A and B are shown apart, each in its own frame.
Chain A
Amino acid sequence: MNKFLKYAIILVAIVLLGYNSIYIKKLSDVKATTGEKFDAAVYVANLWKEKLPARMQTAVDINTLKTSIEKDGAGAFDKYTNALAIGNYRYALVKGTAKIDKVGVDDVAVMINGDAPFKASLLTEFVYGNALRDASGLVELKEFPNTSDLNSISEELNKMVRHKIVPSFKPGLKTGDSIEFIGAIELNKEHIHFDDIELIPLSVKIVH
């Protein structure tokens, strides 16, 4: 009898352990509980409409940024730039005025006005990378544990520039025009240069 009781207890223990160790669920139910796939297009459309316009108004004058970096690099990078990744690249939202030198196929060559004018390119074709996402300061790393989602935000923002912003100003531009601009730039802390800097345009207005 003792032997029978012993085996019965072992059997009950195995059944209980087994029952609590194995869960069988429908694959469709599991997929449903893992959350919806991140829709970067919807996220960016909302960001573009609700948050970016206000953020653009805080863009720093490109000459102020240049002078600040020349005087106090570390302080200026902390104050005016942002980056989600660790490294030398920093990104800033900048504004200024410029004169059109040449309207090219892939970019618009401009001369940035200031005490020491310098050349720059408004990118109109090769709008890629994280400059706009990071310069905006609107995307938090902690909100996006998936790197692919973070990259897709950049892709969608860049698409907006290529498909909405560029067609809104490029066809009307000609050499000699004066413009006001707001855009995003990338700076390398170890190799700082403003001459020939590439600028992703967010707003370009012809001024007379």
Chain B
Amino acid sequence: MAIGKYFVQQLNKTGNYVELLGLVGDNNTWARSKGFHSVVDNYKNLKMVAQQSADFDRNKAMEVMESILQAHPNIDGVFCGNDAMAMGAYQALLSAGKADKVKVFGFDGADDVIAAINDNKVYATGMQFPLVMAQTAAVFADEYIKGKRDFPQKIPVAVEMVTKKMCRIM
């Protein structure tokens, strides 16, 4: 949701955008897309001109973005379901000479995208914390072995949005 909000703010609530989805059979693909649209769909002047899967893959994202750009040359933003696709989309935009005009947003917090945010190539990403997830799972397993049974069925781990401003703080 935070990325959706930042996306709307950066596009000033208006413009054409593209969404690159991950694997269509993957739960994360739709969870991320739904969170994004729960904000963006409230702004009628933001028009999604294309929504296509690029399978979470950088090379496929570049190919998909290249073909989308031929059909829709005037876009203002791209939301990608992961960072690899964001880098692929950026590469396609760079080749088309549109990298300065189109704002790219990713998800995951990969090192190369954090560097790209610092270099003004990507606008934002959602940082995930696999180490926290692993540590928490280990702690809960230990508690379970020791007899605790009172656990919630699901425990969310917060995703932190990383922007250029955050990169400066970090």
Contact = CB atoms under 8 A, between A and B. Distances in A.
B49 interface: no
Contacts of B152: 141-142, 145
Contacts of B34: 148
B156 A147 contact: yes
B109 to A, nearest CB: 12
Contacts of A154: 1
B166 interface: yes
B5 A89 contact: no
Nearest to A145: B153
Contact of B157 (A87, A106, A145, A155): A87
Interface residues of B, number: 26
Contacts of B159: 87
A188 B160 contact: yes
Main secondary structure, interface of A, reads: loop
B81 interface: no
A147 B153 CA distance: 10
Interface residues of A, number: 24
Interface in A161-200: 188, 191
A84 B156 contact: yes
Nearest to A141: B152
B38 interface: yes
Contacts of B166: 191
Nearest to B159: A87
A191 B5 contact: no
A89 B154 CA distance: 18
Contact of A129 (B1, B129, B156, B169): B1
B158 A126 contact: no
Contacts of A148: 34
Contacts of B160: 87-89, 188
A87 B35 contact: no
A86 B158 contact: yes
A118 interface: no
Interface in A98-138: 106, 126, 128-130
B9 A126 contact: yes
A151 B170 CA distance: 28
Given A129-B1, A155-B38, A191 B153 contact: no
B50 interface: no
B155 to A, nearest CB: 6
Interface in B124-148: 129, 132, 136
Contacts of A126: 5, 8-9
Given A87-B129, A145-B152, A128 B158 contact: no
B4 to A, nearest CB: 7
A85 interface: yes
Contact of B132 (A86, A141, A146, A147): A86
B48 interface: no
B157 A151 contact: no
Interface of B: 1-2, 4-5, 8-9, 31, 34-35, 38-39, 129, 132, 136, 152-160, 166, 169-170
9 contacts: A83-B158, A89-B160, A129-B1, A145-B154, A150-B156, A151-B1, A154-B1, A155-B38, A191-B169
Given A84-B156, A106-B9, 8 more contacts: A85-B155, A86-B132, A87-B159, A128-B4, A141-B155, A145-B154, A191-B169, A191-B170
Nearest first, the 10 closest Cβ-Cβ pairs linking A and B are A87-B158, A145-B153, A85-B156, A85-B158, A141-B152, A142-B152, A89-B158, A128-B5, A86-B157, A128-B1
